Amino acid sequence: FFRQLARMNMAPGPEASITTTTLSKGERVVPAPPNLDKRNYVELIGNTPLVDLTPLDPSLEQKGIKILGKCEFLNPSGSIKDRIAAHIVSDAEERGLINKDTTVVAASSGNTGAAIAMMCAMKGLKCIITTSGKTSQEKVDAIKAYGAEVIICPGAPADDPRHYVNKGAQIAKDMDNAFDVDQYNSQLNPDAYYFSMGPEIWNQTKGTVTHFVAGGSTGGTVSGNSRYLKERSHGRVKTYMSDPIGSVFFEYYYDEEKRVPEVKPFKVEGIGKDSIPGAWNEKLVDEIIQVNDQQSFDCCRKMSKQMGLLCGGSSGTNVAGALKLASTLEGPATIVTVLCDHGLKYLSKIYSDKWMVDNGFTV
């Protein structure tokens, strides 16, 4: 999808001219409507801006350290997952795996589900999304608004057939004409970032990026971007992975025997995992930084109140990780991190004082 998009001519049209329109009761000078952006809605995915997050820690400027956030919440469905949705669905269409009668099935913690549901709405395809009870009501409602069926699965171990990932795979397997997005294992997931977001970061920073910080759920964002940035910089860019305390990535990464630890409860959504996904390439990660829920949510609330950036909890995890990394550097450095999704998806949770207090957090 992104390779095709790069070849398309998306240059803006010429400036609108002023025309005179003759009316029945005289003449008026009426400006002609500006040339419309002829791109399909899906072609608006990507090319998100970077914003300067350095003011979150004023001491960084003295050391010549910058933290930049990639505004992925500006994608059409409100999250970074539009990138993989477009890439995976387009690839399946090209290979004849999807036709007009296909039902697209995706297991998701919410954002991929919304992105896939949006794509299916555009293409007139049926869509089924499986998710867990942890997913915010706002995300569930968004998926339904796109016309998809949502199946909320009970909390269960990663190897339990009732787990939302296993449930989605089974639904796709049992149907005659279904396509399983399989975001947790598909290599098209990291490829979407390798071909789109990675080059964007490099070009937007003019090659000055020194560190990349991103969390993982599927592992696609951190793996695909890291691969591109490391290749482009000849290994100079270092990749750090923000991981919620309770997720399995941290302990697995530093365990010489590579045993998958038991997952512990954590509240932040769309980041961290209870199993090791096939889309994650640990060799592309230099270090993992642990961040707890309180730090993630505090960071979100600080960004919204001090910078006007209303972002989801995983963005808070990423930014908190970037701030922790920055505190260890002497500088100069340019750290790029990811603002994954919009905070409107979590108004009933991390931006609700009542929810915060009820779940043991301070506000």
The count of C-alpha atoms lying within 13 angstroms of the C-alpha of 221, restricted to the half-sphere facing its C-beta, is 32
Are 222 and 215 within 8 A, CB to CB? yes
Q: Which amino acid is at 211?
A: H
Are 152 and 132 within 8 A, CB to CB? yes
Joined together, the tokens standing for residue 277 give 């996904």
Are 252 and 313 within 8 A, CB to CB? no
Are 247 and 304 within 8 A, CB to CB? no
Task: Identify which of 265, 212, 218, 208 has the alpha carbon closest to the alpha carbon of residue 83.
Answer: 218
> Where are the alpha helices (H) located in 95-145, listed in sequence order?
111-123, 137-145
Are 117 and 110 within 8 A, CB to CB? no
Distance CA 124, CA 26 (A): 47
Map 73-126 to HEC letters.
HHCCCCECCHHHHHHHHHHHHHCCCCCCCCEEEEECCCHHHHHHHHHHHHHCCE
Q: Directed axis angle between helix 220-232 and helix 197-204, to 10°?
A: 50
Distance CA 333, CA 326 (A): 8
Residue among 25, 38, 63, 81 flagged as catalytic: 81
Distance CA 314, CA 317 (A): 5
Phi, psi dihedral angles at 51 (to 5 degrees): -120, 150
Sheet holding 178-180, edge to edge: 149-153, 126-132, 103-107, 178-180
Q: In a 3-state reduction of DSSP, which class is residue 280?
A: coil
The vertex-263 CA angle with 220 and 77, nearest 5°, equals: 40
Examine the residue annotation and report whether 302 is marked as an active-site residue of this protein: no
* Cα 178 → chain centroid: 25
For the chain, what is the radius of gyration of the CA atoms?
22
Which residues are identified as catalytic? Answer: 81
